[in-house]
């Protein structure tokens, strides 16, 4: 799109800020991964993925895999929710469901699968995955799904959360200006029009995962 998608505005507020507000009641703390200069005006204080993307004198091109590595290197939490910055249809109810599944899982990554395939930027990772991901970065790997196939995965399909997402859009992202226009129209009706609060449930207060938004 030629723009930082996390800074696209919905109701005059950058999407990344909306996302942080959405997940704050559900987790222990929130870490944003990204360029500090780009996010300066939002009031957020991100960590930079290049801190782990540099191996000696060799500089590795930043990308989603480096962002995940940075998040897992910075966390002290056993479970960590990793989210992309361009998911305007996310709901607190779906995230609670995902986190609830994770804390019962023995896998290293709890990850949804849609018609597009695995969704590694809307998944929950154990902190221990960080070393394997950093090693993969060092040997030149870039594709997230290739790297996480080496880990123990708990994969679940859309049919398992259909009741929470009957329109099959909770993980729909934005890749074009048309996607952004569509998402803004949806927000005007579903979010800004109704102004419904984020539910702070008993289940949510128990969360100990630390999300990173990229």
The pLDDT tens digits of the residues spanning 96-118 come to 999 999 999 999 999 999 999 99
**Distance (Å, whole) CA 42 – CA 171:** 24
pLDDT at position 133 is 95
Give the residue extent of every domain in the chain: 5-213
Structure tokens at 135: 């090693």
Residues contacting residue 50 through CB under 8 Å, at least 6 positions apart: 59, 62, 66
**What is the rounded distance in angstroms from the CA atom of residue 208 to the CA atom of residue 214?**
19
Q: What is the pLDDT along the chain (214 residues), one digit of tens a residue?
A: 777 899 999 999 999 999 999 999 999 999 999 888 888 888 888 888 754 545 554 555 568 999 999 999 999 999 999 999 999 999 999 999 999 999 999 999 999 999 999 999 999 999 999 999 999 999 999 999 999 999 999 999 999 999 999 999 999 999 999 999 999 999 998 876 554 433 333 333 344 455 554 4
Question: What's the pTM?
Answer: 0.85
The confidence score (pLDDT) of residue 136 equals: 94
Q: What is the pLDDT of residue 214?
A: 44
pLDDT of residue 90: 96
CA pair distance 97, 58, nearest whole angstrom: 40
| 19 within 8 A of 87, measured Cβ to Cβ | yes
| Domain boundaries 5-213, CATH class | alpha beta
What's residue 43's pLDDT? 86
């Amino acid at each position: 799109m030629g723009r930082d998608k996390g800074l696209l505005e919905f109701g005059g507020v950058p999407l990344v800020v909306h996302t942080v507000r959405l997940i704050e009641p559900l987790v222990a703390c929130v870490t944003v991964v990204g360029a500090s200069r780009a996010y300066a005006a939002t009031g957020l204080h991100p960590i930079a993925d290049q801190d782990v993307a540099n191996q000696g004198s060799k500089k590795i091109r930043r990308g989603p895999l480096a962002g995940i590595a940075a998040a897992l290197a910075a966390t002290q939490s056993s479970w960590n929710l990793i989210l992309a910055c361009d998911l305007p249809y996310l709901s607190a109810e779906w995230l609670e469901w995902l986190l609830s599944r994770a804390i019962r899982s023995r896998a290293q990554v709890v990850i949804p699968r849609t018609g597009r395939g695995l969704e590694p930027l809307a998944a929950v990772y154990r902190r221990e995955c960080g070393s394997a991901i950093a090693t993969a970065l060092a040997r030149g790997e870039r594709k997230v799904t290739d790297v996480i196939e080496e880990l123990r995965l708990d994969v679940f399909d859309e049919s398992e959360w259909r009741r929470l997402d009957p329109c099959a859009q909770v993980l729909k992202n934005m890749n074009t200006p048309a996607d952004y226009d569509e998402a803004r129209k949806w927000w005007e009706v579903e979010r800004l029009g109704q102004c419904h609060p984020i539910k702070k449930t008993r289940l949510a207060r128990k969360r100990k995962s630390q999300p990173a938004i990229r």
